[in-house]
Amino acid sequence: MREAAGHGNATAQLYLARQLMVDGEAKEAARWYTRVAQCGDPEILRSYAGHLGEQGDLDGARAALRAAGDRRALGELATLASGPAEIERVAWEAFAVDEGMPL
């Protein structure tokens, strides 16, 4: 896993970071999460956002979903929105990429 992560495999980086967190290696996990956040793969970024949300980092989850930028991510972003103004803004963002469900 480390070898694949070191060669830039974003999936391996994500799973390695998750395992490091479980093992109590938060500092090293953070280093791998930083690389995951820069990967540009919407599927990986959505998974990363889910993990951040599970950890209670809703701002981080929102940032990862925005970075993913695909229909599904923007739809998921609407579920994390709080307050009417943010909900409406996120719903329109999703609608702009043909994701109408949040509306």
pLDDT at 95: 81
> Does the predicted model carry a pTM greater than 0.85?
no
| Distance between CA atoms of residues 96 and 38, nearest Å | 23
Give the pLDDT mean for 16-35.
93
What's the distance, Cα to Cα, between the start and end of the chain in Å? 40
| Distance between CA atoms of residues 53 and 94, nearest Å | 19
| Distance between CA atoms of residues 9 and 7, nearest Å | 6
pLDDT at 96: 82
Q: Check residue 57 and report its DSSP letter.
A: -
